[in-house]
């Protein structure tokens, strides 16, 4: 049953997701521009305006639902457009463009963990300080979750753009055939398996990856 505390946590989580996702997408656009393609720049994606990046379901509804049910919070945004033919070294640079978003989330998590340690050292035990520490801790964990979630090799997630340029021949053709069913696969993994079979593969993956990284960064 929802209460005011859970609703506040969900709203705070959503605000963190919006900030983190916007920076994630700007990183993709900036990397593509620096590597020779200005498609994303011309589309206005090197911008901190959330409206240019957020997908209504993937960036708002999905993370809000995940937060309300108490699960790991993850999200995806509108893919950044780019033309790989404009990149200086297309096969290599496609991977760099795809990695830029998750790398940005990792940098945010590291900065957040350093801020947490500094705030924790100065905390005097007051309620406001505790709440601020909780928000910063959530910022770290959400960014790690976004990082590892987006590394899953299924469209529209970044992992697919990292894997596909590295494949050749029959392996690449087989991967493209699987990609056609990526959204149904993702929806089954996110909703059907946890609700019907009680098996949550995405949640377990994030617990092992983001959870371990969080413990390491926060010294837990």
Query: Which residues touch 170 (CB under 8 Å, ≥6 apart)?
Result: none
Query: Which residues touch 159 (CB under 8 Å, ≥6 apart)?
Result: 98, 150, 151, 152, 153
User: pLDDT-based confidence at 126, cuts 50/70/90?
Assistant: very high
User: pLDDT-based confidence at 199, cuts 50/70/90?
Assistant: confident
Assess whether pLDDT exceeds 60 at residue 1.
no
Q: Are 166 and 95 in contact (CB under 8 A)?
A: yes
End-to-end Cα separation, the chain, in angstroms = 30
Compute the half-sphere exposure of residue 105: CA atoms within 13 Å on the CB side of its CA.
Answer: 32
Distance from C-alpha of 17 to C-alpha of 8, rounded to nearest angstrom: 14
Q: Are 177 and 186 in contact (CB under 8 A)?
A: no
Q: Cα angle at 66 between 179 and 12, to 5 degrees?
A: 125
Residue of 14, 21, 24, 25 with catalytic role:
25
Assess whether pLDDT exceeds 60 at residue 23.
yes
At residue 44, the pLDDT reads 95
Range of weakest confidence among 88-92, 99-103, 195-199: 195-199
Q: Cα angle at 175 between 171 and 180, to 5 degrees?
A: 155
Range of weakest confidence among 58-62, 70-74, 82-86, 135-139: 70-74
Q: Are 24 and 101 in contact (CB under 8 A)?
A: yes
Tell which residue, 37, 24, 92, 30, has the closest CA to residue 63.
24
E runs forming strands in the chain: none
Burial class (CB in 10 A: 0-12, 13-18, 19+), 88: exposed
**137-180 pLDDT, tens digit each:** 999 999 999 999 999 988 778 998 888 877 888 887 887 777 77
Q: Are 55 and 18 in contact (CB under 8 A)?
A: no
Residues in the chain: 220
User: pLDDT-based confidence at 70, cuts 50/70/90?
Assistant: confident
Percentage of residues in the chain having pLDDT higher than 70? 98
Could you say which DSSP state residue 164 is in?
G
Is 25 an active-site residue?
Answer: yes
Mean pLDDT estimate for the chain = 89
At residue 2, the pLDDT reads 65
């Amino acid at each position: 049953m929802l209460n005011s505390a859970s609703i506040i946590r969900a709203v705070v989580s959503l605000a963190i997701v919006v900030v983190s996702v916007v920076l994630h997408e700007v990183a993709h656009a900036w990397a593509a521009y620096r590597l020779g393609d200005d498609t994303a720049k011309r589309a206005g994606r090197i911008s901190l305006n959330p409206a240019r990046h957020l997908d209504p379901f993937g960036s708002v509804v999905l993370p809000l639902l995940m937060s309300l049910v108490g699960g790991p919070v993850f999200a995806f945004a509108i893919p950044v457009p780019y033309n790989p033919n404009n990149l200086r070294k297309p096969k290599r640079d496609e991977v760099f463009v795809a990695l830029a978003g998750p790398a940005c989330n990792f940098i945010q998590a590291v900065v957040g963990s350093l801020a947490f340690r500094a705030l924790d050292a100065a905390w005097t035990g007051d309620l406001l300080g505790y709440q601020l520490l909780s928000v910063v801790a959530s910022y770290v964990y959400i960014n790690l979750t976004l990082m590892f979630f987006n590394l899953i090799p299924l469209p529209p997630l970044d992992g697919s753009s990292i894997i596909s340029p590295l494949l050749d021949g029959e392996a690449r053709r087989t991967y493209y055939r699987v990609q056609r069913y990526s959204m149904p696969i993702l929806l089954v993994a996110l909703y059907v398996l946890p609700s019907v079979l009680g098996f949550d593969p995405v949640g377990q993956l994030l617990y092992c990856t983001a959870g371990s990284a969080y413990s390491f960064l926060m010294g837990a």
